[in-house]
Amino acid sequence: MEWKIEIRKRKGVFDPLGEGVKKDILDLGISGVKKVNVSQVFIISGDITESDIKRIAGELLTDSITEEYVVNNERRTTNDDQRKSRAKSRGERRIIEIAYNPGVMDPVEESARKAIKDMGIYGVKSLRTEKKYFIEGKITENDFRNICEKLLYNKVIQHAVKEHSARCIKHSNGYKFKLVIVNLLGADDKRLTKISRDGQLFLNLKEMAQIKNHFKKLGRNPTDCELETIAQTWSEHCGHKTFRGIIEYEEDGKRKIIDNLLKNTIMKVTSELKKPWCVSVFKDNAGVIRFDEDDNICFKVETHNHPSALEPYGGAGTGIGGVIRDILGVGLGAKPIMNTDVFCFGLPDTPRKNVPKGMLHPKRIMKGVVGGVRDYGNRMGIPTANGAVLFDERYIGNPLVYCGTVGIMPKDKSFKAAKCGDLIVAVGGRTGRDGIHGATFSSGELTHESEAVSGGAVQIGNPITEKKLTNTLLKGRDRNLYTAVTDCGAGGFSSAVGEMGEDLGAEVDLEKAPLKYQGLSYTEIWISEAQERMVLSVPRENLKELMDIFKKEDVEAVVVGCFTSNKRLKLRYNGNVVCDLDMEFLHGGIPRFERKAVWSKPSHRECDTKDKKDFTQDLLKILSSWNVCSKEWVIRQYDHEVQGQSVLKPLVGIENDGPGDASIIRPKFNSKKGIIISNGINPRFGFIDPYWMAASCIDEALRQVIAVGGSLNKTALLDNFCWGNTDKPDRLGSLVRASFGCYDIAKGYGVPFISGKDSLNNEYSVRGESIAIPGTLLISAISVMDDVTNAVTMDLKEKGNLLYIIGETKNEMGGSHYNLINNCVGNNAPTVDAKKGLKIFNRISEATRLGLLRACHDLSEGGIACALAEMAFSGGFGIEAELKEAPYEAKSSKAKRDSIILFSESNTRFIAEVRKQDKNKFENLMKGIPIGLIGQVSGKKDLKIYGLSGKKIVDISLDKLKEAWQKPLRW
Amino acid sequence: MKKPRVIVLRTAGTNCDNETQAAFKMAGADSELVHINELARDEKFLKNFQILAIPGGFTYGDDIASGKILANEIKYKLNADLKNFINSGKLVIGICNGFQALVKAGILPGINSGTIESTLSFNDSGSFIDKWVDLRTTNDERRPKEVPSEVEGRTTKCVWAKNLPETIYLPIAHGEGKFIPRDNDVLNQLRKNKQIVFKYIDNPNGSIDDIAGICDTTGRVLGMMPHPERHVLGTQHPRWTREGLKERGDGFMIFKNGVDYVRMRM
């Protein structure tokens, strides 16, 4: 028997969800909707009596204060409603019911079934949820369709329930084993290419030929499972083959061969610096550094771009879920203590007609992504305390979603090694058809057909499964019950078992994996990227104790195989061998990429920086530009304080709403030792020169660490490259150039890289033309702070205090926001002099350690003008400042102009607030460093800036500055 | 002296358990994290503790409604034990999700024991919000301003809220924190019984009568949406860099009250 229970708000009860939808409809440009109501629908089938269903509905599913329910076992309501809605004067009230597509995880199912069991009702066989929308008002049929498709559901994961349509589409009635052999040996080049494309393997011809040769030597064809395993392992996502390949690089007519870009730039910094506190770098799931005598901390940032483009909510949620599992899988498992999220979107005010076919509007993507991170991160109980949101029209077809997690673990749990004979235990979520081909999918370009072809790669996560997994896994770790652990990320079991058994060998019986539903083939089980799963290697004698831990907290764990010593990957399905691969070939057989890369400096239109009498309007424009404006709407949706460890929150100041430079947490309540997390990202400088973009990103991330009171002593970096298709020499050329920048500047500052990731092929084809994202480098910094009570925030603190600029301003307007609001890019991107910069950083660290700084803010987008404005309105104090006191690079003094000093985004600069009584102490400490006393904190509520001539060039109240800054994203 | 024993109840999706445990430890208690399955399977016993804390989180994903599945579980698995616990004079605190569970299990406000008299529903804004709020700690609105707080109206029934300053500053972090009593009768009862413990000064979620926290008719069971365990240390205050670093945050006193109450009677 199938029951349908519909839960509606009682009459007169405010429906905030409906209100939200109403607002979003207005956002679509559709007016006329008077009211929206949302009902939750539960479809429960099984052997349940009517009285039990009424108990379930009344006691469990309905909130008797605000809701009421309707039970119907014949689904008459739907038809009735629809008939009624048709009858109701053609479109006064419309109804649509949205259900998940078959195979998509419905997170409510598991918990609701548990609750029904708790009530002593055991007959439930399946439970699905739907959402029912009632839309009242005069709208056209076309409007209604638009609302449904653009707002209420995403066909990648959901569908509208049709009248009389079967509600529960069966996945398939079980699976009958049939071994699939792929005829590679008989395939010519054309055929090999076709096999790769049709199978969504994303392997190039050279790779396919290599595989063919391997099997030729073996005298047999591969199974589908073998081919898939190789494709996963060799995917760009898992293998970083571009970075490790051979590149012929050309710049200004000069050529050189780079054999492994990663080793020659990013990793070289670390190996040359030899920091004793780097515990594990570029080996494990994340970089690990020393925290204190007992513990290490680790940090990893991942991207989840392609899934987020198609299904923003699910894509971002599973992105954060994935990077959390990375941290759970570092060493023997670390406890996640903080998340960081950085997003790049198209412009939220993009006209709808400019959104390419098959793509969602940037605003919808943004809302979905933020919602996904919110719901997953908050449910995991990990504070999302750092991040950034950037906008550029070229992200419209390909948004970027960077998700990062910090973890902490005991020193002696920082390494892993599976042993021969250990059992392979799969733990956490069940395996389903979700996420098939995620790893290879992310290695290709998006087209408007992507959603149809790769819909399976998109999933909805279930954070509670991961939360349970986290708690129990760490218990098992603390009792030393397993020897190794890896997350099932891209590639699923295939990559997890393949990685753990690389030096050993492994055997897996695929039919043992717990499935969400019947009907999966052996290959689907093997490569499914269903979420919330981890693989452990467990010595046989520990199995019972470990299984008990999982069982006690309702976490599913199953032995699926064991590690061997024969260096072979052997998979069986009910005893039939479906894969038997040589580990050496699997991990070492990939032909190295040989690619060409070219970089030549582009030439952009120079901007007119002619001086004006008044720059107030320019300042307001920059403050309210998408990149600079307040991100409070995003930040407040994240629980950034759970775990109780926050010391500096993302928002600071007298009204808790100013833009803090970096976040600090203290992971132990009884210790003052803390962790600073910051990030640097500025794709606009990359338009001019990726080298200086990389330099600026590193400088910015470090600047923020310094600004909040940290030091470079125990600071490490992560790199995340998101680039276009690096098969194209110009894209690869800019990647190479950015990598050079990373090496030079990180080395110069003495700061090692500890982990990184690249996401290439971020392009979008529209009408045959491929649009690449701007090459976007995210640099994340992690720093250990000895005493968090020395922390400094950027908001002005007291009237009468002195304001200093530290660091030189240069004529570096290229890529600046001043140029952006004047519709040009320019050609002189900000540079970095690490030798001078290091001195500045170290002195400021000393000043904060001595308690000399009342406030400190790093100068970035919008330069001095923006920083002064932000410090003023965050602190609630006015400023009077004179530009002629700002240190200015001597050689370009001819170009000394108000506009440049106000808005240049030169690196390694800060504004500091110092008490009058500390003036001498501060100035003595800063000897040899370019500083300028530019003004004072005033008692008035406005910002006054005097130009080089001594005339006032900015004069505006704090309220107006703050309003300009807050308004754009006050959604 | 023996330390009061606190059970911090956890289950799937509990996520403020560690900081709640830490807050009770700072307040001088012995606190232990216990999974609800351990109670249900008779591996641990509620009666061995003096204080029950149900911490914040998203138990069972807040699927169906916030705290609902945990409330259901409490009702069906722990009901008798919990009633005995409360009736024997012991203390309960439910924070955020714990508050939601206590309300939806009918334990709070507990005017007519076991019936659902109120709920915590979606914020008026429709979205989750993390921010700091000022809470008024008196439950008696009729007290004229000029009457010093120690004279009148400060005698809230709630033992957890004794001697708190007039206003305290704590963070909220919830999507479903709007307190709604069934009707005016319930609201009047709450007022009359001095069961309203905390009120928002600037209502962030649309709660009826600005209610942020209530206690039961005994005054020993407290439920509140704001997170006192997130303000026990000075560095947790969002403006400590402006206003100076204090040793303890405003939330600390709440835990201390609970622990001291038990200690006095042990």
What's the CA gap between A661 and A791, in Å, rounded?
A: 11
Q: Is the pLDDT of residue A581 over 70?
A: yes
Residue A74 pLDDT grade (very low, low, confident, very high; cuts 50, 70, 90): very low
Tell me whether residue A885 is exposed, middle or buried, using C-beta atoms within 10 angstroms of its C-beta: 0 to 12, 13 to 18, 19 or more: middle
The two tokens of residue A456 are: 């399976």
Task: Look at residue A199 and tell me whether its pLDDT is greater than 90.
Answer: no
Band of the pLDDT at A517, cuts 50, 70, 90? confident
Q: Which of B13, B123, B241 sits opposite A16 (nearest CB)?
A: B123
Mean pLDDT, residues A496-510: 95
pLDDT of residue B153: 40
Which of A159, A171, A304, A437 does the annotation list as catalytic? A304
- Whole-number percent of chain A with pLDDT over 70: 94
Q: Regarding beta strands A658-659 and A663-665, do their DSSP bridges make them parallel or antiparallel, or are they unpaired?
A: unpaired
Q: Are A281 and A287 in contact (CB under 8 A)?
A: yes
CATH number listed for the domain at residues A2-160: 3.30.1280.10
Interface confidence, given as ipTM, is 0.94
Residue B151 is predicted with a pLDDT of: 40
Q: In this complex, which of B64, B131, B229 lies closest to A636 when CB atoms are compared?
A: B131
Q: Flag whether pLDDT at A171 surpasses 60.
A: no
pLDDT for res A165: 44
| Residue-level pLDDT at A456 | 57
Confidence (pLDDT) at A208: 95
Asked whether the beta carbons of A840 and A749 are under 8 A apart, the reply is: no
Give mean pLDDT, residues A328-350. 97
Q: Considering just the CA atoms, what is the radius of gyration of chain B in Å?
A: 17
Cβ <8 Å between A642 and B56: yes
Q: Round to whole Å and give the CA distance between A298 and A302.
A: 13
Q: Give alpha helix (H) positions in A534-666.
A: 543-552, 583-588, 616-623, 632-635
In eight-state DSSP terms, residue B233 is B
CB pairs under 8 A between A and B: 177
**Which residues of A fall within a CB distance of 8 Å from B98?**
none
Q: How confident is the model at residue A307 (pLDDT cuts 50, 70, 90)?
A: confident
Which residue among B35, B58, B236 sits closest to A553, beta carbon to beta carbon? B35
Strand spans (E) along B11-128: 30-35, 51-54, 91-95, 118-121
**The token pair that represents A836 in the structure block:** 């001078």
pLDDT at residue number A434:
73
pLDDT of B185 over the 80 cut: yes
Contacts of A971 in chain B (CB under 8 A): none
> Would you state the pLDDT for residue A459?
76
Give alpha helix (H) positions in A329-462.
362-380, 438-441, 450-453
Contact residues, chain A, for B232 at CB < 8 Å: 644
pLDDT value of position A601: 92
Strand partners, A766: A769
Q: Terminus-to-terminus CA distance in chain A, angstroms?
A: 44
Are B31 and B24 in contact by the 8 Å Cβ rule? The answer is: yes
pLDDT at A228: 94
Over range A418-443, report the average pLDDT.
Answer: 82
Read off the tokens for A352: 């709808």
Q: Which residue of the set A164, A171, A214, A237 is catalytic?
A: A237
Active site residue A304: yes
pLDDT of B142 over the 50 cut: no
B224 has a pLDDT exceeding 90: yes
Q: What is the pLDDT of residues A394-413, one digit of tens each?
A: 999 999 999 999 999 999 99
- Is the pLDDT at B137 greater than 60? The verdict is yes
pLDDT of residue A609: 65
Predicted pLDDT at A77: 45
**Rg of the Cα trace of chain A?**
29
Look up residue A780 and give its two tokens.
């994340």
Residue A496: pLDDT band (50, 70, 90) is: very high
What domains, with CATH codes, occur in chain B?
5-265 (3.40.50.880)
* Residue B167 scores a pLDDT above 80: yes
pLDDT number for residue A836: 97
Average pLDDT, chain A: 92
Interface touch B182/A65, C-beta < 8 Å: yes
- The closest of A623, A621, A630 to A970, measured between CA atoms, is A630
Q: What is the mean pLDDT of residues A108-116?
A: 93
Taking residues A632-650, what's their average pLDDT?
A: 96
Mean pLDDT value across residues A452-478: 83
H or E stretch at A143: helix A141-147
Nearest CA-CA distance, residue A133 and chain B, Å? 16
- In angstroms, the separation between the Cα of residue A139 and the nearest Cα of chain B is 24
According to DSSP, residue A457 is labeled G
As a whole number, mean pLDDT of residues A589-612 equals: 88
Residue-wise DSSP of A911-927 = EEEE-GGGHHHHHHHTT
Q: How confident is the model at residue A447 (pLDDT cuts 50, 70, 90)?
A: low
Residue range A114-126: mean pLDDT, rounded? 94
Contacts of B81 (CB under 8 A, 6+ apart): B39, B45, B46, B47
At which residue do the structure tokens 């445990």 appear? B21
The model's confidence at residue A357, banded by pLDDT at 50, 70 and 90, is: confident
Asked if A654's CB is within 8 angstroms of B238's CB, the reply is no
- Per residue in A526-560, pLDDT (tens digit) is 999 889 999 999 999 999 999 999 999 999 999 99
pLDDT in tens, A651-686: 999 999 999 999 999 999 999 999 999 999 999 999
Cβ separation B182–A788 shorter than 8 A: no
* Weakest mean pLDDT among A629-643, B58-72, B149-163: B149-163
Nearest one of A58, A363, A370, A19 to B123, comparing CA atoms:
A19
| Sign of the dihedral defined by the CA atoms of residues A834, A836, A842, A847, in that order | negative
d(CA A107, CA A109): 6
Cis amide linkage into residue A752, ω under 30° from 0: no
Q: Which of A120, A552, A669 sits opposite B37 (nearest CB)?
A: A552
Are B127 and A637 in contact (CB < 8 Å)? Answer: yes
Please list the active-site residues of B: 96, 227, 229
Higher per-residue confidence, A764 vs A214: A214
Q: Angle CA(A929)–CA(A935)–CA(A937) in degrees, nearest 5?
A: 120
What does the pLDDT read at residue A164? 41
A140-144, A322-326, A794-798, A829-833: which has the minimum mean pLDDT?
Answer: A140-144
pLDDT of residue A87: 45
B87 touches chain A (CB under 8 A): no
Distances (CA, A) of A34 to A317, A603, B145, B148: 32, 52, 44, 50
In sequence order, what are the residues at sequence separation of 6 or more whose Cβ sits closer than 8 angstroms to the Cβ of residue A339?
A: A320, A323, A324, A373, A377, A382, A383, A384, A385, A386, A403, A404, A405, A406, A638
Q: How confident is the model at residue A89 (pLDDT cuts 50, 70, 90)?
A: very low
Three-state secondary structure call for residue A271: helix
DSSP code of residue A515 = B
- Asked whether residue A167 carries a pLDDT value surpassing 90, the answer given is no
Report the percent of chain B where pLDDT is more than 70.
Answer: 93
